[in-house]
Amino acid sequence: MIKKLSVLSLLLAFVLIFTACSSGSGSGSSSKKAATKKVLRVVNDATYPPFESLDKGKMVGFDVDIMKALSKASGYKYKLVNVGWDPVFAELKSKTADMSISAISITADRAKTYDFSKPYFLSTNKILVAKSSTIKSAADLKGKTIAVQQGTTGQAAVEKIVGKNNPKVKKFKTINLAIMEMLNKGADAVVADNTVIEQYARNNPSKNLKVVEDKDAFEPEFYGIMYPKDSKLKPVFDKAINKLYSDGTYVKIYKKWFKVSPDLDTLKAQQ
């Protein structure tokens, strides 16, 4: 019996090693023929409605639709893969993915390590609190417990006010966990991109939430498609983005998800 078991485990080990090797060589050959239009590996963190989330297992959202339109405009085929927020950055850094469209704000810090497309979305961090909350501005966040999604500009904005790695800033893997923490009174506020928390407050009226804006403390941010450094795809998709702006596709997708018209002038002025 023991002999049988050890043979079995040996076999299992071989199978594992073999699959590991074959998948390794597979990705190697696909990066070699980058000259012919290969299928792009586009990664995201699909926990961020209305930009990207899973609806019965299917990826939906503003970014998902934009990517589809961009692929049509550029002629590139792609495969959208949900890998999670931190892995998005890890994959682009190690160049195992070609690009990411995942509501990523363009920041000077990130631009040191990655390339960004022209901005395709305008966003601001806002504060989500209970209706009864006394928090009226970003300055009121001092001394309060704040839940954020780890590694987001929301976290950066909060830490600018209360200090970096302040123990009262709770960092969660997804925005939903952060919001849940606040609903369970483990935090007094959530700071995140306005579209996400506004939609959450709108979709969940029974939770009695409100969104607080502070234009002075939180600067406007622009989302961009993120690439590994020196990606050759950037000019191609920059052109495609402008095409979506000019042929009305962008406005159509924007209205579908946010019910209002986009501020195209501000977006274009950023270019």
Partner 1 sequence: MGVNPLDIIREYLPFFASGTLFTVGFSLAGIVFGTLLGLLVCFGKMINNKALSWPFICYITFFRGTPLYVQILIIHFGVVPAVFGQSNGILAGALALSLNEAAYIAEVFRAGIQSIDEGQTEAARSLGMSKLQAMRYIVLPQAVRRVLPPMGNEFISLIKDSSLIAAIAAPELTYWAQAMGAQYAIVWTPYLTISFIYLILTLTMSFLVNRLERRMATK
Return the residue of 36, 132, 184, 206 that touches partner 1, per CB under 8 A: 184
Q: Cα–Cα distance between 66 and 45 in angstroms, integer?
A: 15
Residue 180 touching partner 1 (CB under 8 A)? yes
Q: Which stretch binds partner 1 (CB under 8 A): 10-18, 172-180, 229-237, 243-251?
A: 172-180
Return the residue of 173, 207, 210, 243 that touches partner 1, per CB under 8 A: 173
Q: Which stretch binds partner 1 (CB under 8 A): 82-90, 117-125, 131-139, 235-243?
A: 82-90
**Between β-strands 220-223 and 121-130, what pairing exists: parallel, antiparallel or unpaired?**
antiparallel
Rounded to a whole number of angstroms, the distance between the first and last alpha carbons of the chain is 69
Shortest distance, CB of residue 234 to partner 1, whole angstroms? 19
Q: Which of 105, 207, 98, 203 is nearest to 149 (CA)?
A: 105
Residue 86 touching partner 1 (CB under 8 A)? yes
Residue 167 touching partner 1 (CB under 8 A)? yes
User: From its phi and psi, is residue 51 left (phi > 0), alpha (psi between -120 and 50) or beta?
Assistant: alpha
**Between β-strands 99-100 and 220-223, what pairing exists: parallel, antiparallel or unpaired?**
unpaired
Residue 89 touching partner 1 (CB under 8 A)? yes
Residue 13 touching partner 1 (CB under 8 A)? no
Q: Output the CA angle 124-126-127, nearest 5 degrees.
A: 170
The residue (of 149 and 249) whose beta carbon lies closer to partner 1 is 149
Residue 130 touching partner 1 (CB under 8 A)? no
Q: Cα–Cα distance between 52 and 80 in angstroms, integer?
A: 11
**Contact mark string toward partner 1, 135..154, x via CB under 8 A:** ------------x--xx---
**Contact mark string toward partner 1, 94..113, x via CB under 8 A:** ----------------x-xx
> Which amino acid is present at 269?
A
Q: Which of 97, 62, 73 is nearest to 223 (CA)?
A: 62
The residue (of 159 and 213) whose beta carbon lies closer to partner 1 is 159
Secondary element (H or E) of residue 211:
strand 209-212
The residue (of 85 and 257) whose beta carbon lies closer to partner 1 is 85
Tokens of 220: 């406007």
- Interface positions with partner 1 (CB under 8 A): 85-86, 89-90, 93, 110, 112-113, 147, 150-151, 165, 167, 170-173, 177, 180-181, 184-186
